[in-house]
């Protein structure tokens, strides 16, 4: 890396860290003040409200990360133009692309770090925040994570499972029964059990304390009790996907497992595929947004920093409004999830390319 590249890169990190700290403080304070109503509504402690806001802050901060990158880049370029460094660089034989290069590298690094943080840290922090909300703030002592009630699940083409309570963390289902159908779609037998428990050593589920009800011709019914009986259902609890999950709670690995399970159960995966493509496209979206806005600093020349802030916010708001609109359409199945996740990035990448061409950068 040349001396100029190192110099420009150092100029980027100062404003970026400052802007991120400002955004983090505003998000934390704004969210905490908004959640202070919980103190009176649920008799929650102020410390728990602050703790909840602190744990949810990273997921919100990732949403404004592209704006922080764009604003930092605009400030660096504007500062170089106003100080005469931009003209000196061009006079020294450097091209605009060479000046933009170190900034783009820094933004790419931030985007990759954001993706890694989103994948490995945010889901755990968001789940912890939800636990604090339910147990410490709302005082629901019986609440447990990853617990669903009144679950209906298709195991395969001929079997449907019903359970009053499913606790995937504990590998346990309560009050469950399985209807088994023949090829004519008539029920042939039913397995009722007090519980359905996962055995990690045997890697299978066991029925406990129940009976099998056989349906014969002429409305005849025969029952056979059992204490414990092995099933052929061997999907681990961690891979069972139930209910509607928040995007922030799921990593890419968890989304892939969830999609596999839902598809095998014949359930809709529009939402999960949309989440997956949105997460994969996020780093590219940040880079494209910055490439879209950086040439404006040159076009506006000696504009004020206030103008740069307005431009960054306007571009960020427009970009993420379109992203949110398409994501909603993708989740509902109106638009293909791949299109919903990647169309904004592709479209604005073309716009940025045209912008660079028109400005001869």
Give the tens place of pLDDT for each residue, 42-83.
888 999 999 999 999 999 999 889 889 988 988 888 888 888
Which pLDDT does position 315 carry in this prediction? 80
Strands 147-156 and 172-181, sheet pairing: unpaired
Give me the pLDDT at residue 290, please. 87
Give the rounded percent of residues in the chain with a pLDDT score beyond 90. 33
Q: What is the mean pLDDT of residues 123-132?
A: 90
Q: Tell me the percentage of the chain whose pLDDT exceeds 70.
A: 96
What is the CATH number assigned to the segment(s) 147-237? Answer: 2.60.450.10
Domain spans, the chain: 3-136+270-358, 147-237
Average pLDDT of the chain, as a whole number? 86
- Whole-model pTM: value is 0.80
Of the pLDDT bands very low, low, confident and very high (cuts 50, 70, 90), residue 115 is: very high
Average the pLDDT over 332-361 and give the result: 87
Q: What is the pLDDT of residue 303?
A: 58
User: What pLDDT band is residue 106 in, cutting at 50, 70 and 90?
Assistant: very high
- 285-312: average pLDDT: 76
């Amino acid at each position: 890396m040349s001396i100029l590249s190192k110099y420009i890169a150092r100029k980027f990190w100062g404003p970026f860290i400052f802007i991120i700290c400002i955004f983090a403080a505003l998000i934390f304070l704004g969210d905490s003040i908004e959640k202070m109503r919980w103190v009176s509504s649920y008799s929650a402690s102020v410390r728990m409200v602050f703790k909840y806001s602190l744990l949810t802050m990273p997921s919100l901060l990732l949403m404004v990360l592209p704006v922080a990158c764009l604003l930092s880049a605009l400030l660096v370029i504007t500062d170089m133009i106003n100080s005469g460094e931009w003209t000196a660089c061009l006079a020294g034989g450097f091209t605009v692309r060479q000046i933009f290069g170190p900034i783009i590298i820094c933004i790419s690094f931030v985007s990759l770090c954001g993706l890694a943080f989103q994948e490995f840290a945010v889901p755990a922090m968001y789940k912890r925040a939800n636990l604090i909300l339910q147990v410490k703030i709302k005082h629901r002592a019986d609440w447990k994570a990853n617990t669903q009630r009144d679950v209906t699940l298709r195991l395969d083409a001929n079997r449907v499972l019903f359970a009053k309570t499913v606790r995937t963390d504990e590998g346990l289902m309560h009050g469950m029964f399985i209807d088994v159908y023949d090829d004519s779609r008539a029920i042939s037998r039913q397995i009722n059990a007090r519980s359905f428990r996962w055995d990690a050593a045997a890697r299978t589920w066991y029925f406990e304390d129940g009976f099998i009800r056989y349906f014969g011709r002429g409305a005849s019914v025969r029952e056979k009790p059992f204490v414990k009986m092995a099933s052929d259902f061997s999907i681990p609890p961690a891979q069972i996907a139930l209910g509607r999950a928040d995007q922030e709670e799921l990593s890419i690995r968890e989304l892939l497992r969830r999609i596999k399970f839902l598809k095998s159960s014949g359930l809709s995966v529009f939402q999960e595929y949309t989440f997956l493509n949105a997460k994969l496209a996020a780093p590219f979206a940040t880079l494209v947004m910055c490439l879209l806005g950086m040439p404006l600093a040159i076009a506006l020349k000696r504009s004020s920093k206030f103008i740069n802030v307005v431009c960054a916010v306007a571009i960020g708001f427009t970009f993420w409004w379109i992203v949110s609109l398409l994501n909603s359409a993708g989740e509902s199945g109106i638009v293909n999830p791949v299109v919903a996740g990647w169309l904004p990035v592709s479209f604005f990448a073309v716009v940025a390319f045209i912008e660079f061409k028109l400005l001869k950068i």
